[in-house]
Amino acid sequence: MRSLAMEPRIPKVYDVKAVESKWQKAWEDLGVYRFDRSDRTRPTFSIDTPPPYPSGELHVGNALNFVYIDFVARYKRMRGYNVFFPQGWDCHGLPTEVRVEKTTGKRKSDFQPEEFLRLCREYTLKWIEEMRKDLKALGLSIDWSTEYMTMDPDYWRRTQYSFVVMYKKGLVYRAEHPVIWCPRCETAIAEAEVEYVSTSKLLYYVKFRVKETGEDLVIATTRPELLPSCVAVLVHPDDRRYTGLVGKHAVVPLFEREVPILADEGVDPNFGTGVVMVCTYGDKSDVRWQKKYSLPVVISIDDHGVMNENAGFLKGLKVEEARRRVAEELRERGLLVKVESISTTVGTCWRCHTPVEILPKKQWFVKSKELAGKVLEEARKVRWIPDYMYKRLENWVLSLDWDWVISRQRLFATPIPVYYCEDCGAELVVSEDKLPIDPRFDPPPFDRCPRCGSRRLRGERDVMDTWMDSSITAAVHAGWPDAMDERLFPADLQPNGYDIIRTWDYYLILRGVALFGKSQFKEALINGMVRGTDGRMMHKSYGNYVAVREVLEKYGADSFRLWVALAAATGQDVRFSWEGVDYAHRFLVKVWNAARLASAYLTGEKALSLEELGAAELRPIDHWILGELSRTISSVTRHLEEYNFQQAAQELVEFTWHKLCDHYLEAIKYRLSSGDKAAYSTLYTVLLKTLQMLSVFAPHLAEEIYSLVFKDREGWPSITVSPWPQPPAYDEKATEVGALAVALIAEARRAKHDARLPLSARVKTLHVYAGDRAELVKTLAEDLRGTLRIDEVVVHAQGEGQRKVPEFPEISISLEV
Ligand SMILES: [Zn+2]
Ligand SMILES: [Zn+2]
């Protein structure tokens, strides 16, 4: 028989690096992922991509987030959507300032502010450059023409504009209020920026004196250094031990100040001695009680975490030193009853892990408490994937005690567009048309104070929380505040990790409600975290950190992407696994080799489409693979609609590897080499549709094979923008016969294997004991002979062979060598 095979168009070795970088460049040159603004025919699908923080290196967690987004973008594009996949950078923030300080070995205060800001911008650009490379190397279908940075003047303008609009609506205000303060970073921080860590602390039992009776009153506290700030003593109203004392006064030891003894339901009678001291401010309950009982405020800690003049003999000591010193003093005077160790949680700064303090400060706030109800109402309209993620947002919103403090005492951030009158104190908010502005350096855009006529105006020194920048991304993507493209807003998809539900998702909805009366996104796709190979959170200090770049260097993007899809269900944590990436790689090599084999036949001659060929020409095994493909397409489509990447990828791999490569391709090789049109057309269709689906997960490989084998005939500029495959037609009845053929071939191959024969070895006779299916099996004889290199197939209606066919236990076979 003359073989029709030609030299395969696909090279023997799959050169991952060359293939991937070639297509990354080509896709950009072709502009296939550009959002087409002028296209009014296709429906749009807009994604509010998280602008990463420019740390200089893409974290595997970021990479997973972006790969998920890319799965969606690629799938939607193939479904006919005009997809908007923008890219931004969330530049500002404490970490950059800290890093610039570290890199230069100087403190921020050692620089002129302008010089420090210039350095922050310069480093940020450098770090972005590195991360941009990583994002491109992942093969993400980002529309790079949309790239923006929150430190750009144009982005400043938008952030400041949003501030002004909210100020005019009465949703932003300036007031003195206790705020959470990081003494290391010397700035206010939001509740979302506090990290609670478990720790053990000493609990000091301190003797107070009741003024009226002279008796001792013992109070347990972890913060005796706050005695100088003690303004009241509280007990529970039902606590019999102390009912007689309510209304009397306690004398604070060492400081000899008299404070009232009050009864309050909020006191836990089981903690310590059941008596608490209210200090301004030890924690949030102190803030509540101070307000409730109009207690005086005595601040004894300054902005740097050092005791001030109100602390008497503790003045000048750092908080921890003061704690030791005051304990010594109490012990010496016999005022310390006992000390015990307890486990508790301490609020720390998310950036520098210093324990935070509560200090009253004049700051800018967003009225987040007032908007909480509406925020939850809008959040419930969002489709959360997985749906239990909504609960996390709800719990967070309900746990918030205070308004969102949005001013920061830092440098590298969007300035607050406000000036103050030095004479009457008026707040002059800059009008929208004068933005962007930097009141720290720019002259005021007002001649004089509109209230008192003074010309002595001073610019605001404080800047904004970076979440003020990144909580308007969806609106900015749509062009706000200039020309809002309504098709893009609210965004169709908000994809992020569960770790930022309480920040990014929350702030976006809050600002959406404040500015537009609705959420800024319709669906929230929430991903899990990537853990180290040891199962712990990935962290450089744990030694379990894996850089994306390392994975890309070793395996390329497609293997990593496919691993991401296969590794865990959407929303669940993923443990990083080199074996997992390697498995994905081996699968892709399998596809490459299968396509290479097929490419020896599929090129050169014009194939008839299945429709042209007609179903009558197909063999049962062709129907079988078409049936399996059809089921796989329906199922993968359903899973992708549900953002269930794991199931989609698993079923696609299972089909491709085990049905297409292991069974079908093996079974039709002999037909291909003899020029069988049905085998040729079926393989063409099945391989192409499989690659189309695979292009969501492994776009480079799919594109390379497509370009070498299919592009001439199909004509799409890229397989990644081809129309999503439809399930092919097939004959259901014939697929059952095809399944029987596949099972028989598989069992006969196992028999060959067990007889230590190579698969290519010729065998004399295969006996099939098929019972009442004997006639049916006879129709498959040619497939069995051709595939298994068997001279003769004998089908028996009676008797039993040596080996049962597992899928059809009533049928058995024997091999005669
Ligand atoms: Zn800090
Ligand atoms: Zn004035």
Collapsed DSSP state (helix, strand, coil) of residue 255 = coil
Q: Which helix (H) or strand (E) holds 704?
A: helix 699-705
Cα 284 to averaged position of ligand 1 atoms, centre (Å): 19
Q: Does residue 494 come out as left (phi exceeding 0), alpha (psi in the -120 to 50 range) or beta?
A: beta
The answer to whether the CB of 412 falls within 8 A of the CB of 117 is yes
Q: What's the CA gap between 559 and 139, in Å, rounded?
A: 11
pLDDT at residue 817 in the model: 82
* Six-digit token string for 330: 């109490």
CA 642 centroid distance within chain: 17
Cα 108 to averaged position of ligand 1 atoms, centre (Å): 14
Q: Which helix (H) or strand (E) holds 691?
A: helix 677-697
Question: What is the torsion angle, in degrees rounded to the nearest 10, for the CA atoms of residue 577, residue 580, residue 581 and residue 587?
Answer: 180
pLDDT at residue 46 in the model: 98
Question: What is the torsion angle, in degrees rounded to the nearest 10, for the CA atoms of residue 634, residue 638, residue 644 and residue 648?
Answer: 10
* Six-digit token string for 497: 């990790």
Cα 411 to averaged position of ligand 1 atoms, centre (Å): 14
Ligand nearest the Cα of residue 195 is 1
| pLDDT interval class at 542 (50, 70, 90) | confident
pLDDT at residue 604 in the model: 52
| pLDDT interval class at 584 (50, 70, 90) | very high
Ligand nearest the Cα of residue 452 is 2
Nearest to 61 by CA among 126, 129, 134, 128: 134
* Ion ligand 1 — residues with CB < 5 Å: 182, 184-185, 349, 351-352, 354
The amino acid present at 817, given as its one-letter code, is: V
* pLDDT tens, position by position, 291-349: 899 999 999 999 999 999 999 999 999 999 999 999 999 999 999 999 999 999 999 99
Q: What's the CA gap between 178 and 721, in Å, rounded?
A: 54
pLDDT, the chain, mean: 94
Ligand nearest the Cα of residue 425 is 2
Residue 15 above 70 pLDDT? yes
Instruction: Tell me the average pLDDT across 545-563.
Output: 95
Ligand nearest the Cα of residue 421 is 2
Q: What's the CA gap between 596 and 398, in Å, rounded?
A: 58
Question: What is the torsion angle, in degrees rounded to the nearest 10, for the CA atoms of residue 505, residue 152, residue 110 and residue 463?
Answer: -50
Cα 309 to averaged position of ligand 1 atoms, centre (Å): 24
* pLDDT tens, position by position, 340-359: 999 999 999 988 899 999 99
Instruction: Tell me the average pLDDT across 83-88.
Output: 98
Ligand nearest the Cα of residue 182 is 1
* Six-digit token string for 746: 């598989």
pLDDT at residue 607 in the model: 65
Residue with tokens 């799409």: 716
- Counting every residue, how long is the chain? 817
> Which residues is 219 bridged to in the sheet?
206
Cα 187 to averaged position of ligand 1 atoms, centre (Å): 8
Cα 192 to averaged position of ligand 1 atoms, centre (Å): 13
Q: Which helix (H) or strand (E) holds 113?
A: helix 113-137
* pLDDT tens, position by position, 262-280: 999 999 999 999 999 999 9
pLDDT at residue 463 in the model: 97
| pLDDT interval class at 60 (50, 70, 90) | confident
pLDDT at residue 617 in the model: 85
Cα 430 to averaged position of ligand 2 atoms, centre (Å): 15
Q: What's the CA gap between 221 and 233, in Å, rounded?
A: 12
pLDDT at residue 801 in the model: 93
Cα 302 to averaged position of ligand 1 atoms, centre (Å): 15
* Six-digit token string for 556: 């390329």
Instruction: Tell me the average pLDDT across 37-50.
Output: 96
Q: CA angle at residue 663 from 659 to 664, to 5 degrees?
A: 85
| pLDDT interval class at 43 (50, 70, 90) | very high
* Six-digit token string for 311: 């602390």
Ligand nearest the Cα of residue 348 is 1
Q: Which residue has the higher pLDDT, 374 or 544?
A: 374
Q: Does residue 573 come out as left (phi exceeding 0), alpha (psi in the -120 to 50 range) or beta?
A: beta
pLDDT at residue 601 in the model: 86
pLDDT at residue 606 in the model: 59
Instruction: Tell me the average pLDDT across 138-150.
Output: 97
Residue 4 above 90 pLDDT? no
Collapsed DSSP state (helix, strand, coil) of residue 564 = helix
The answer to whether the CB of 743 falls within 8 A of the CB of 808 is yes
**Do the bridges between strand 530-531 and strand 574-575 make them parallel or antiparallel, or are there none, so unpaired?**
parallel
The amino acid present at 379, given as its one-letter code, is: A
pLDDT at residue 516 in the model: 98
Q: Mind spelling out the 3-state secondary structure of 630-649?
A: HHHHHHHHHHHHCCCHHHHH
pLDDT at residue 1 in the model: 40
Cα 427 to averaged position of ligand 2 atoms, centre (Å): 9
Cα 77 to averaged position of ligand 1 atoms, centre (Å): 43
* pLDDT tens, position by position, 424-459: 999 999 999 999 999 999 999 999 999 999 999 999
Instruction: Tell me the average pLDDT across 246-265.
Output: 96
Task: Give the DSSP letter string of 209-254.
Answer: EETTT--EEEEEES-GGGGGGEEEEEE-TT-TTTGGGTTSEEE-TT
| pLDDT interval class at 186 (50, 70, 90) | confident
The answer to whether the CB of 184 falls within 8 A of the CB of 459 is no
> Which residues is 444 bridged to in the sheet?
none
Residue 9 above 90 pLDDT? no
pLDDT at residue 139 in the model: 98
Q: Which helix (H) or strand (E) holds 188?
A: strand 187-189
pTM score of the predicted model = 0.89
Residue 2 above 50 pLDDT? no
Helix ranges (H only) for 527-660 are 548-555, 557-567, 578-602, 610-613, 620-641, 645-654
Cα 448 to averaged position of ligand 2 atoms, centre (Å): 8
* pLDDT tens, position by position, 704-751: 999 999 999 899 999 999 999 999 999 999 999 999 999 999 999 999
Ligand nearest the Cα of residue 454 is 2
| pLDDT interval class at 656 (50, 70, 90) | very high
Cα 176 to averaged position of ligand 1 atoms, centre (Å): 21
Q: What's the CA gap between 264 and 335, in Å, rounded?
A: 26
Strand order in the sheet with 457-459: 427-429, 418-421, 457-459
Residue 541 above 90 pLDDT? no
Q: Which residue has the higher pLDDT, 760 or 561?
A: 561
Residue 242 above 90 pLDDT? yes
Cα 121 to averaged position of ligand 1 atoms, centre (Å): 21
The set of long-range contacts for 115-121, using a CB threshold of 8 Å and a minimum separation of 24, is: 116/411, 116/412, 117/411, 117/412, 120/96, 120/411, 120/412, 121/91, 121/151
